[in-house]
Amino acid sequence: MTQIEKTRLLKLLYQQRAMGFEYFKEYKPVGSISPMLPKDFDSLENSVKGCYLCNLSKVRKNVVFGEGNKRAKVMFIGEAPKTSEDESGNIFVGLAGDIVTNIIEKVLGLKREDVYITNILKCRTPENRVPTIEEVSTCKPYLLQEIELVNPEIIVTLGSTSFHHLSEEYDTPIASVRGEVISFGTAKLIPTLCPYFLLRNPSSKKEVLQDMLKVKSLL
Ligand code: SF4
């Protein structure tokens, strides 16, 4: 494309945006759902809870499957269970869980049981380290099947690990993409920061608030 053609195209896009058109980046869901995976939630949960496909099965106490409304409009996706989740078997408990609940109830005006919450990885990593690509690629078909079954309109990724593994845009810093509305299959994906990061950096809560107000505007 010549420079003149690029300039014309840019001008056209600006004109259309002034007329109310919106543009979103687009990602296609990366990875594939295994045809062997169950097509109903209860069977999928049972399969995941009996999963020994990667080495994390040797160190976990509990598999932590997703929780919430199985037909939710909004789906939150975190990184992996931490110590308290591994011990309880429930997702986002403790102080990080309080942050998630506050976001849902006080900002979005929903109840926690109205949304669906899950993680990229279903088992805790040793010392809560960042999951490896191999661990995520082994576990990710479960997540993709959850997304397929819930069929959410909005997906909120919590933190860089969640965003990077879902989009496979590993070189995109979370700071440059958080709060953006991105097309992801049939859903809109909005990346934001991780609740565990907010526990260490409470001043970043205002950025998450901005991101969540954007989510609210799409409900
Ligand atoms: S992390 Fe995922 S793939 Fe690995 S054992 Fe747990 S459920 Fe299976």
Q: What is the pLDDT of residues 137-187, one digit of tens each?
A: 999 999 999 999 999 999 999 999 999 999 888 888 999 999 999 988 889
Ligand 1 pocket test: pick from 56, 82, 119 the residue with the most ligand atoms within 8 Å of its Cβ.
56
Tell me the per-residue pLDDT of 83-97, one tens digit each, with 9 for 90 and over: 999 999 999 999 999
pTM to 2 decimals?
A: 0.86
How remote is the CA of residue 144 from the centroid of ligand 1, in Å?
A: 14
Mean pLDDT of 46-70: 95
Is 194 a pocket residue for ligand 1 (Cβ < 6 Å)? no
Q: Is the pLDDT of residue 122 over 60?
A: yes
| 115: confidence class by pLDDT, cuts 50, 70, 90 | very high
Mean pLDDT of 112-117: 97
Range in 18-22, 76-80, 177-181, 209-213 with the lowest mean pLDDT: 18-22
Domains and CATH numbers, the chain: 25-218 (3.40.470.10)
**Whose CA is closest to atom 8 on ligand 1?**
51
Ligand 1 pocket test: pick from 121, 125, 129 the residue with the most ligand atoms within 8 Å of its Cβ.
121
Is 123 a pocket residue for ligand 1 (Cβ < 6 Å)? yes
| 196: confidence class by pLDDT, cuts 50, 70, 90 | very high
Q: CA 60 to CA 89: how far, in whole Å?
A: 10
How remote is the CA of residue 49 from the centroid of ligand 1, in Å?
A: 9
pLDDT attached to residue 170: 87
How remote is the CA of residue 160 from the centroid of ligand 1, in Å?
A: 20
